[in-house]
Amino acid sequence: MPDFAESTKEQTIRAYLHYFAETEIRPRSLEADRMADIQPDFYSVLDRAGISTEMMPRDPGSPRPAEGGKTEPQTLRTAVLASEELSWGDASFMLSLPGPGLGGPPVSFIGTPEQRERFFAVFQDRSRPHFGAYALTEPEAGSDVAGIRARCEEVPGGFRITGTKTFITNGSRADWVVVFATVDPELGRAGHRTFVVERGREGFSVGRKHHKLGLRASDTAELVFQDCFVPEENLLGGRAHYERQLSQEGFKVAMATFDSTRPLVAAMAVGIARAAAERTRELVQERYMLGRALPRYRALEESLDDMDRRVRAARLLTWKSAYLADARQPQSRAASMAKAYAGSQAVQICREALELTADSGEQPDALLEKWFRDIRVFDLFEGTAQVQRLVVARRLFDEIGAKVGL
């Protein structure tokens, strides 16, 4: 039976990150949204605090790897806890943490020891922030991952990649990008190959930056590959890896990444929903204390309780998926369930927050309005809500089939 009580150490990490979110992220949040960028001074503050996706969550008292010390083992459970707290501050800042980001899991999962060392080495340099990215989505292939069209053609010494990737988080500032391409679109999933492409390679350029409804301060860009030569040693896992499996390995890597990152995305949604629920409570109480008539006070109270309950339920599903991952148990269904539930509940909670606080058509509270825009994408990226439900339904049917011997 999983133990969902927070350990003393987890409480310390949560308190540390909450303090950081409250004092360093929230005060910058609205300005960053207006500028559609993160204030540059934030990165030195972040570095001093020792927070990045690579080492998050670092025990506040523990030494840094750069100082020759050992970090605590990273668990998904503490990572989701950190993800919720930082997103409570602002989810765009959470997505903009330096580190390999979504690009990290594929390199860890199938990269050779040499590749892992080479590609992760850059994050040891603390003179400026470094980023990794993950490029799967294309203008014509989002949910339908098997339908990617970016081509990788074999040439002496490596491959040439041609194609366009779209909506890539941290795409315009990444030091390297994990790119999924196909040797032949007709082969479907079996044709997929996974590469790491470094910034500055000839034929690799950043296209337009996407202007978004929400998460505006998070960098989202189009990446263009035009006959971009990538050496053999950048094929993740090496050639033998794909030959051995004959195989859907490239596709499996793309999907395994989501199994480990969906709980983090679910935790981000929980963080935003919690922020919106708390802010709504504050605003409602402020009005009540001011003595303004609130004829629907009882209904309001029930709505606030209901928001709180749904935040807690979403958090439990998220923790369950993290618990399974840490216990090395299958968690694809749990991860999809957490993401689908947390995302859709958070969208509803942010909408209700606006309705409860600005129902007379007044200018809404600026933070609530921002979170209402930010949360929209949580039903979309890393697999849309509909697709998560399909994953959950498939797993259910698999279980039923196994029971009745199908």
Give the residues lining the site for ligand FAD (CB under 6 A). 102, 134-137, 142-143, 167-169, 212, 215, 220, 377, 380-382, 384, 386-387, 390
Active site residue 382: yes
Nearer Cβ to ligand FAD (13/86): 86
Q: In the structure encoding, which two tokens stand for residue 131, read together?
A: 């980023």
Residue with tokens 């983090």: 264
Q: Choose the catalytic residue: 54, 85, 249, 382.
A: 382
CA distance 399 to 390: 14
CA distance 302 to 380: 29
Nearest-Å Rg of the Cα atoms of the chain is 22
Q: By the 8 A CB rule, do 279 and 368 touch?
A: yes
Q: How far is the CB of 336 from ligand FAD (least distance, A)?
A: 13
Q: In the structure encoding, which two tokens stand for residue 100, read together?
A: 């390999």
Q: In the structure encoding, which two tokens stand for residue 298, read together?
A: 């009882």
Q: How far is the CB of 322 from ligand FAD (least distance, A)?
A: 21
Q: In the structure encoding, which two tokens stand for residue 363, read together?
A: 């200018």
Nearer Cβ to ligand FAD (26/212): 212
Nearer Cβ to ligand FAD (169/248): 169
Nearer Cβ to ligand FAD (220/345): 220
Q: How far is the CB of 167 from ligand FAD (least distance, A)?
A: 4
Closest by alpha carbon to 21, among 395, 344, 367? 367
Q: By the 8 A CB rule, do 321 and 334 touch?
A: yes
CA distance 350 to 318: 19
Using DSSP, state whether 128 is helix, strand or coil. coil
Nearer Cβ to ligand FAD (206/294): 206
Cα 140 to Cα 102, 123, 242: the distances in Å are 21, 33, 25
Vertex 185, ends 179 and 189: CA angle to 5°? 70
CA distance 245 to 253: 12
Q: How far is the CB of 215 from ligand FAD (least distance, A)?
A: 5
Q: How far is the CB of 214 from ligand FAD (least distance, A)?
A: 8
The residue sitting closest to ligand FAD, measured at its beta carbon, is 142
Nearer Cβ to ligand FAD (254/324): 254
Q: How far is the CB of 395 from ligand FAD (least distance, A)?
A: 15
Provide the sign of the torsion angle of the four alpha carbons 182, 183, 186, 187, taken in this order.
Answer: negative
The catalytic site residues sit at: 382
